[in-house]
């Protein structure tokens, strides 16, 4: 049974940093990419970044590029999202989700298992 | 401004059929990338409804179906039920942004 669980959310002041963790189980972690998706209050889903299964693919949304970095520890089936220079616009629920490739095109990922999310609030 | 455009809202009576469109461009859907659909009820985890533009995961009722043509895709829901009242998102990949992208979301109201 696949399980995905985020942790590390909280309240942080503007300009501050926070690190989220995403622990997964129930599948071979080293064979899957993991994505981070957030939802700001009253807004839709926004893709943020990917932790590719082999570490070879680095992409981030323009809104977080240069501020958010992702890393993974395959021995612990865990992905980390390091968030720096946070602004109030970064407030929201942060989900991690397993990326499942469809067909032969590597970027044809869909997100089949999601965590409940970690709430991040950036406020003074 | 999302790379994928969805109508903000649609509505229908129980038992009716509704469709939700997802319009992209030459760098995403038109480039051949597949479209995937999610149902999101506030306070819960987004649920995968359609993957690979037309495939349903096990457990998703066959009332839900997906299609893709050119630079657009659609989600159709037949036999509307009260439990379908939710937000729906399309998702694909955009090679000019080098990013996975979601549509802005469509709020389905079952009247």
pLDDT of residue A105: 84
The answer to whether B1 touches A62, Cβ cutoff 8 Å, is no
CA distance B37 to A110: 9
User: Residue A92: is it exposed, middle or buried by C-beta count within 10 angstroms (0-12/13-18/19+)?
Assistant: buried
DSSP lists the bridge partners of residue B82 as: none
pLDDT digits (tens, 9 = 90+) for B58-111: 999 999 999 999 999 999 999 999 999 999 999 999 999 999 999 999 999 999
What does the pLDDT average to over B26-53? Answer: 96
CB of A73 within 8 Å of any CB in chain B? no
pLDDT of residue B42: 84
CA distance B43 to B56: 23
Question: pLDDT confidence of B43, banded at 50, 70, 90?
Answer: confident
Residue of B nearest to A107 (CA): B93
DSSP lists the bridge partners of residue B101 as: B92
The answer to whether B28 touches B92, Cβ cutoff 8 Å, is yes
- In tens digits, chain A (124 residues) has pLDDT values of 999 999 999 999 999 999 999 999 999 999 999 999 999 999 999 999 999 988 787 799 999 999 999 999 999 999 999 999 999 999 999 999 999 999 888 889 999 999 999 999 999 9
CB of A72 within 8 Å of any CB in chain B? no
Helices (H), chain B: none
């Amino acid at each position: 049974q696949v399980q995905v669980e985020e942790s590390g959310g909280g309240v942080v002041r503007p300009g501050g940093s926070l690190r989220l963790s995403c622990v997964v189980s129930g599948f071979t972690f080293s064979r899957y990419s993991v994505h981070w998706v957030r939802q700001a209050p009253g807004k839709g889903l926004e893709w943020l970044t990917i932790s590719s299964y082999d570490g070879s693919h680095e992409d981030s949304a323009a809104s977080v590029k240069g501020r958010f970095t992702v890393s993974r520890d395959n021995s612990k089936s865990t992905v980390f999202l390091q968030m720096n220079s946070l602004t109030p616009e970064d407030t929201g629920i942060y989900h991690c989700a397993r990326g499942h490739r469809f067909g032969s095109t590597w970027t044809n990922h869909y997100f089949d298992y999601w965590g409940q999310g970690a709430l991040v609030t950036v406020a003074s | 401004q999302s790379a994928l455009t969805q109508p903000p809202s649609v509505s229908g009576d129980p038992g009716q059929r509704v469709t939700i469109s997802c319009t992209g461009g030459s760098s995403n859907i038109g480039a051949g990338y597949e479209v995937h659909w999610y149902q999101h009820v506030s306070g819960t985890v987004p649920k995968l409804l359609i993957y690979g533009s037309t495939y349903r995961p096990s457990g998703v009722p066959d009332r839900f179906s997906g299609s893709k043509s050119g630079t657009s895709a659609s989600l159709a829901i037949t036999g509307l039920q009260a439990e379908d009242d939710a937000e729906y998102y399309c998702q694909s990949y955009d090679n000019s942004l080098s990013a996975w992208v979601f549509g802005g979301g469509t709020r389905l109201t079952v009247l």
